[in-house]
Amino acid sequence: MPIKLGQTYGHVKQTVFSNRVYNKPSLRKAVIRHPGVLRRSPKVIDRNKKVKAAPPASKCGKKGPGGTPTPWDQFVTCLSEQMPK
């Protein structure tokens, strides 16, 4: 599916009120999200294409001892270092 401007619809059935509560571990609290994604800028689309071509999470995911998953705080730090590249 190509990345495009405008509203894209999610794949999960939403509630009657069109909102969903998600756990956000990086914030350590729950957040309420509206279904789908609203892309407003060609810059966002270009950035998404770059991230899709070279996902930074693949460089940060298994850095624990013996290839185990990276602890969450270290994973977030690694992602923040990899994203500007």
What are the extents of the domains in the chain?
1-40, 54-85
The pLDDT score that the predictor gives to residue 27 is: 84
Rounded Cα distance, 20 and 52, in Å: 26
Among the listed residues 52, 84, 77, the one whose alpha carbon sits nearest the alpha carbon of residue 63: 77
Tokens encoding 63? 């850095």
Out of 6-10, 62-66, 69-73, least confident range: 6-10
pTM of the model: 0.46
Rounded Cα distance, 62 and 70, in Å: 5
Share of the chain above pLDDT 90, in %: 0
